[in-house]
């Protein structure tokens, strides 16, 4: 894992932990994370996508979308000291655990025979196969779906979030 990936991983972990306490709404949570996830997904896409990888991708996108929607439904949006705030709490963390567990389950479902045969072939072959199947871009695609559905659901269900996003987009457009 390169230094850039470690920095991004640290940022994502901080964002997850920040959901445990009430915090002022900021543009990175609602707009920046989805954009960063899209960029990381696109940057890691392989040249060729076979049918197994496409099926795995669709499954992970569906998982991410469901988790993002669920996280947003469980997020509390409120005003404190005239500041728009959110708190995701433990359901937000449970959603991330579901994404990681779902990724492992989907990896095994779609690649079980290849993983077993590589395990029989030896440690080095097994490690190479696991690395290939657990591609970084697939994880980022799940985060993309999750963060987009999270932001869209909050946008749709909370007028304060809707106003915040419109204001932020106006600033970007100027």
Q: What is the pLDDT of residue 126?
A: 56
Cβ-contact 125, 31 below 8 angstroms: no
Span 168-172, mean pLDDT?
85
Question: 70 vs 32, which has greater pLDDT?
Answer: 70
Per-residue pLDDT tens digits for 128-164: 655 555 567 888 899 999 999 999 999 999 999 999 9
Judged by DSSP in three states, 46 sits in coil
List the end-to-end C-alpha distance of the chain, in Å, as a whole number: 37
pTM for this entry: 0.83
Q: What's the gap between Cα 40 and its chain centre?
A: 11
167: exposed, middle or buried (Cβ count in 10 Å: 0-12, 13-18, 19+): exposed
Q: Of 65, 91, 95, 76, nearest to 160 (Cα)? A: 76
**Alpha-carbon distance 61 to 106, whole Å?**
11
């Amino acid at each position: 894992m390169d230094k850039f990936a470690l920095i991004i991983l640290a940022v994502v972990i901080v964002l997850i932990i920040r959901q445990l306490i009430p915090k002022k709404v900021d543009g990175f949570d609602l707009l920046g994370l989805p954009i960063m996830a899209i960029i990381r997904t696109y940057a890691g896409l392989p040249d060729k996508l076979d049918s197994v990888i496409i099926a795995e991708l669709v499954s992970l996108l569906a998982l991410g979308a469901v988790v993002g929607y669920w996280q947003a439904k469980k997020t509390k949006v409120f005003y404190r000291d005239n500041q728009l705030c959110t708190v995701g709490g433990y359901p937000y963390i449970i959603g991330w655990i579901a994404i990681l567990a779902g990724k492992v389950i989907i990896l095994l479902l779609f690649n079980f025979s290849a993983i077993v045969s590589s395990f029989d072939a030896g440690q080095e072959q097994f490690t190479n196969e696991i690395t290939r199947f657990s591609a970084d871009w697939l994880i980022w695609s799940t985060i993309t779906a999750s963060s987009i559905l999270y932001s869209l659901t909050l946008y749709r269900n909370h007028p304060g979030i809707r106003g915040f996003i419109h204001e932020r987009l106006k600033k970007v457009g100027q």
